[in-house]
Amino acid sequence: MVSNYIVIVAGGSGKRMDATVPKQFLLLNGRPILMHTCERFYQYDHTLSFVIVLPSEHIETWNALCKEYAFSIPHKTIAGGVERFYSVKNALDLIQRHQNSQNALVAIHDGVRPLVSLETIRKAFVVAEEKGNAIPVIAVIDSVRKVEAYGSSIVDRTQLRLIQTPQVFKLSLITKAYQQPFSESFTDDASVLETMGETIILTEGNEENIKITRPIDLVIAESLLKSTDSIKYQTPSQQKS
């Protein structure tokens, strides 16, 4: 049986949150954000193999939090790099050492996006299985202007999309893409794959799938968790009871 993977990249420092605690460890409804994120994917498919990427200096803190909160989802942790590119590459190298089938899929997700819907995850995996990659997006609803040296100009927002995660790929494709040298143009995993000439496939994301970066994002996430019945988590121990 081919094992699929979820790589959760959690390299935040908390500077934009004005917090001394790394943002992935901030409490959301009484538990670290990163745990909520992991549980979304476990709820989608408990057979996924989890790889969590953390700064090396945060791994001991994470291990302590797992004990404190009785976090029981099986996972491997690996140290990240100075850029997100190297963090993902480290995770893919780890997977390659334990995976013989290149038909496996790997989802790559931001550790501070705990509100991704199960449907967003499902669509990404289904499309990636068929077409090799899948990138969730949502439409731009605000007016957008491009700032230039002489002023600014309106941009047609109907041609724009906001990128989300999880971005899902055939393992063989994304592993090959990450053999390239790092470039400042790599803003996400799709941009790494695209430089190989691959067509990027867009799928439907969900508006609640915000990236918790600023204090207001945490307030919004708390409200969504309290008011949305569909956003509920079950830990492995809860599912067995």
CATH number at residue 27: 3.90.550.10
Is 187 within a domain?
yes
pTM comes to 0.91
Q: According to the model, what pLDDT value does residue 236 have?
A: 47
Number of structural domains in the chain: 1
CA distance 151 to 153: 7
As beta bridge partners, residue 28 has 31
- pLDDT value of residue 18: 59
Each residue's pLDDT tens digit, 104-124: 999 999 999 999 999 999 999
On whether the CB atoms of residues 23 and 122 are closer than 8 A, the answer is: no
Identify whether 241 is part of a domain: no
Residue 12 in 3-state DSSP?
A: coil
Residue written as token pair 């040298």: 181
Range of the domain at 170: 5-236
pLDDT 10s digits, 109-167: 999 999 999 999 999 999 999 999 999 999 999 999 999 999 999 999 999 999 999 99
Residue 237's pLDDT is what? 43
Question: Which pLDDT belongs to residue 67?
Answer: 98
pLDDT < 50 positions in the chain: 229-241
Which pLDDT does position 226 carry in this prediction? 82
Rounded CA separation 189/203 (Å): 15
pLDDT at 103: 84
In this prediction, residue 44 carries a pLDDT of 97
DSSP letter string, 130-150: HHSEEEEEEE--S-EEEEETT
- The pLDDT value recorded for residue 235 is 45
